[in-house]
């Protein structure tokens, strides 16, 4: 038996690529690196698209992306890392969904690709070229996969559902504001 096979190399490449992109994306939110807006600017944006409170939402998304991405790249706590990143990308996809699928139109294509890859890595595992393997999978047990995905799915549904309610309430208030009576009594 060899130390690694092509499956392990493939998983390493997927982890490094996906994890690196997610970590950089999250660092834009948390620290303003790579042309990002940091917590202040990202928090204002999050508030404007219905995630409230904005700064807390920016912090949560930034930590899920930066932390999840870094852990994915390292192959450490892979179920939790992949689940956290997938949850953050589901939240991003919700923002872009009204624009359709393709990224060139502002759609959710990019967020979906990153999220599905992160979730796939959570399920498939990190391979032998990983810290999980070195640590004898102490934080990568089989039971952790459905637990991490289930908890993340529940939290993501609650957060995206709350955002959807806020957006609908905002749109309703705007519609009612536009329907002011023509004559005041």
CA angle 59, 31, 82 (to 5 degrees): 55
User: Nearest CA to 75 among 115, 133, 9, 142?
Assistant: 133
How far is 40 from 138, CA to CA, in rounded Å? Answer: 37
**Under 8 Å between Cβ of 140 and 125:** yes
Q: What is the pLDDT of residues 54-106, one digit of tens each?
A: 999 999 999 999 999 999 999 999 999 999 999 999 999 999 999 999 999 99
This model's pTM is above 0.85: yes
153-181 average pLDDT score:
89
How many residues does this entry show for the chain? Answer: 185
Half-sphere exposure of 59 (CA within 13 A, CB side): 6
């Amino acid at each position: 038996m060899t130390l690694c096979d092509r499956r392990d190399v493939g998983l390493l490449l997927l982890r490094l690529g996906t994890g690196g992109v997610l970590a950089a994306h999250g660092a834009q939110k948390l620290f303003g690196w790579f042309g990002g807006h940091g917590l202040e600017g990202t928090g204002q944006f999050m508030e404007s698209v219905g995630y409230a409170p904005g700064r807390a939402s920016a912090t949560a998304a930034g930590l899920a992306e930066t932390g999840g991405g870094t852990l994915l790249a390292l192959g450490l706590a892979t179920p939790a890392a992949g689940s956290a990143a997938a949850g953050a990308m589901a939240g991003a996809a919700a923002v872009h969904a009204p624009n359709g699928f393709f990224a060139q139109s502002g759609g959710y294509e990019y967020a979906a690709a990153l999220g599905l890859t992160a979730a796939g890595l959570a399920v498939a595992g990190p391979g032998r070229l990983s810290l999980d393997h070195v640590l004898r999978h102490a934080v990568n047990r089989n039971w952790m996969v459905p637990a991490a995905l289930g908890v993340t799915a529940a939290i993501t549904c609650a957060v995206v559902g709350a955002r959807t309610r806020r957006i609908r309430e905002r749109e309703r208030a705007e519609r009612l504001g536009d329907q002011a009576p023509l004559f005041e009594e």
